[in-house]
Amino acid sequence: MPETGYFAVFLIGLLGGTHCIGMCGGIVSALTVQLPGQRRREWPLHLAYNIGRITSYTVAGAVMGAIGTVGMLFNDILPIQLGLYVAANLMLVALGLYLTGFTRALSGVEKLGHRLWARIQPLTRRFLPARSVAQAFPLGLLWGFLPCGLVYSVLATALVTGAAERGAGLMLAFGLGTLPNLMLAGMLLKRLRDVVRNQVVRTGSGLVVLAFGVYGLANTPSLGSALWNGVVCHF
């Protein structure tokens, strides 16, 4: 995958911060509920939580990339790779529309992970409130499985990479893109919520993500058999 592909998903993570803060803002603020006014102690906990969360994304990306390898094996029989590529970009289009507020369709996709999350969420309680890095990191690992349309959209793209290491790299880049928003959310939650609820901000972010999806779909006819020749994602 070219470096531009990693940069693209980094931007998607960064611009998707309007969604991230809405989904995870509560948990990151709860991390340090018993440490009011102790900023020096708060930062390590928030960082450990986010490292744990990004680690889960990276592992999930590796798994999806490995599963996508199966598509490479059957490329001469069925256009599986091309189909996955189209599906991934359609997810980005849906995500862009979701962020702008034009549709809530992606919320239906998030329901797919609710059964798994129902089993994982009780495990998070033993780490709350987080008083140490040793509690914050595993909390982040578990919270990485929170049903999220934004994460699922990029995981669909990781599936298209057709290799565990590329899928992991893709989700790592995405996770790093979400890092600034969620680090700040833990420290300045109220102010950030006011910003991300601004319709201009949400619409602008959504339109950029939408553009990535549309660009990918527009390039579909030119991919053909070259889709898996080392250059998987064109966005």
Give the model confidence (pLDDT) of 46-68 as tens digits: 889 999 999 999 999 999 999 88
Each residue of 143-176: pLDDT tens digit? 999 888 888 888 988 888 878 999 999 999 999 9
pTM for the model = 0.79
Each residue of 169-190: pLDDT tens digit? 999 999 999 888 777 766 555 5
C-alpha to C-alpha distances, 181 to 20, 60, 228, nearest whole angstrom: 8, 21, 33
**CB neighbour list of residue 144: distance below 8 Å, 6 or more residues apart:** 52, 53, 54, 55, 56, 57, 60
Two tokens at 147?
């049903």
117 compared with 228, residue with greater pLDDT: 117
User: 3, 17, 2, 1: which is closest to 208 by C-alpha?
Assistant: 17
pLDDT score, position 219: 79
How far is the C-alpha of 24 from the C-alpha of 106, rounded, in Å? 17
Q: pLDDT grade, residue 45 (50/70/90)?
A: confident
How far is the C-alpha of 221 from the C-alpha of 235, rounded, in Å? 14
pLDDT score, position 127: 86
